[in-house]
Chain A
Amino acid sequence: MNERLWGILVDSFPKLLDYGIRVTVPLTVLSFALALLISVIVALIQYAQVKVLRQICRFYIWIVRGTPLLVQLWLVFYGLPSAGILIDAFPAAVLVFGFNEGAYMAESVRGALESVSRGQLEAGYCVGMSYMQIMLHVVLPQAFRTAFPALSNSLISMLKGTSLASTITVMEMFRQATVINGRVYESLGLYTEVALIYLAFCTLLTWLQRIGEKKLASYGGEKA
């Protein structure tokens, strides 16, 4: 490797990492929090078979899963202003990422809810608990454990997906790499470098996932 390239990589590394920590990570965390909220609400509505709302949820999942994420981003950021709806780039990204991943996660959460035996609900009723109490203390915690690997997957995929926000002017880690590259023109080196930083972030998440799974395993095997 020549000295110039090495110098560029060493100079750019703290900048990229800085944008990663200050923008990519918060963008991921906020989007994921929104997605989690949406997915639990949507899954609960379907689990409890609430009539009209259930149709709306099916419709939402159908639309979101059936259209590309990039198109959704551009529609919200570049398209909606023509309809008088102006949203700043960062919140627009959070909104789109949240609603997008939320649809996928809702299916994971719904599947996990349905895997919890109906007997748990019946037992709760018989000792005088209300539906909400049973959901909160018994069914949701068990469903969360089942859904945890799938949700971790979503989080990892979302972290990488935030690079798409660069296309709607959000100055996050990847866009910063393209900006630096515009000055020095070292595509191979810079994009490899930014890829490695994403890889490091994802490795950290995978590691956290493993710890989480161990914690959740405390109450033992999957028995009916």
Chain B
Amino acid sequence: MMLEAKNVRKSFDGREVLRGIDLEVEKGDVIAILGPSGSGKTTFLRCLNFLERADAGELVFDGEHFDLHAASRADIARLRKKTAFVFQNYNLFLNKTVLQNVTLGLTLGARMRKDAAREIAVKALEQVGMADRLDAYPSQLSGGQQQRVAIARALAGSPEIIYFDEPTSALDPELIGEVLSVMRLLAEAGMTMLVVTHEMDFARNVSSKVLFMEGGSVIESGPSRQFFEQPKEERSQAFIRSIIEARK
């Protein structure tokens, strides 16, 4: 087991958002976290990378235990070296060029030499098809291009797992495809990914497993295929039906 989250709990102002979430991730897994809005998917993902402090919960990563509520700053920094996060609204550094966006974490965070960082960055940008825009600023790029740069920034740190928080939700419909195809390539290359998404085609065709959440609890989890073809729980069935309805 590469990653294991146990009993993750979180409340905002007395409202329980996560009611004890468990998750197991094997190396190479691509797990889609599905569920209606407000089900706690994003909060759960953010807790795993300490962007949000859980009220309780444990994370086992590569055999090392982290207290999701009380981990020290040094523990968090060590964990984050092995992970990467892709945000819904990209969060590229607005005052930095495409290249700098990718190298900054390497030169400052990982104290890498500039030329070595540049080499890694260019390679990562080639992977997402953005190596021809090294000197562009985020404001000069489309949303899809920004998100691809953000994925390159995530890749550059050579993480063991990448968390995606609704990576295509802020995009215009015609730009979603380019981001999804980059993610599909990553998945095929064996990258371990945890993806909060509303893209059912991605969940069905690319992800290997599904975690279906509602009201802060896991309703059902299992192989994607099984989830979409023979959902066990009634609420999963209702969710899948509602999506098919919405398509029509």
- The residues of A with any CB-CB pair to B shorter than 8 Å are 117, 119-120, 122-130, 133, 137-138, 141-142, 145, 218-221, 223-224
Contacts and interface: CB of A to CB of B under 8 A. Distances in A.
B91 A117 contact: yes
B80 A122 contact: no
A145 to B, nearest CB: 8
A164 B151 CA distance: 56
A138 B89 contact: no
Listed residue (B83, B95, B96) with the most chain A CB atoms within 10 angstroms of its CB: B95
Contacts of A125: 51, 80
B1 interface: no
Interface string B81-108: 1011101010111111000000011001
Contacts of A124: 93, 104-105
Contacts of A122: 51, 85, 87, 91
Listed residue (A124, A126, A128, A145) with the most chain B CB atoms within 10 angstroms of its CB: A126
B91 A142 contact: no
A48 B70 CA distance: 20
A220 B136 CA distance: 10
Nearest to B105: A127
B223 interface: no
Chain B, interface size category, equals 20 to 34
Contact of B108 (A123, A126, A129): A129
Nearest to A220: B139
A128 B89 contact: no
Contacts of A127: 84, 104-105, 109, 153-154, 156-157
A141 B81 contact: no
Contact of B137 (A117, A128, A220): A220
Contacts of A123: 85, 87, 91-93, 150, 153
B81 A128 contact: yes
Contacts of A130: 77, 108-109
A56 B91 CA distance: 33
A191 to B, nearest CB: 45
Interface of A: prevailing SS: helix
Contacts of A120: 91, 93-94
Contacts of B85: 122-123, 126
B140 interface: yes
Interface in B162-178: none
Nearest to B137: A219
A138 B109 contact: no
A122 to B, nearest CB: 5
Contact of A138 (B51, B95, B154, B156): B95
A123 B96 CA distance: 13
Contacts of A119: 87, 89, 91
B17 to A, nearest CB: 18
Contacts of B77: 128, 130
Which 3 pairs between the two chains have the least Cβ-Cβ distance?
A127-B105, A128-B109, A220-B139
Nearest to B100: A137
A75 to B, nearest CB: 41
A223 B93 CA distance: 11
Interface string B7-24: 000000000000000000
B110 interface: yes
Contact of A128 (B51, B80, B94, B139): B80
A61 B79 CA distance: 40
Contact of A223 (B104, B139, B154, B157): B139
B49 interface: yes
A129 B91 contact: no
Contacts of A221: 139
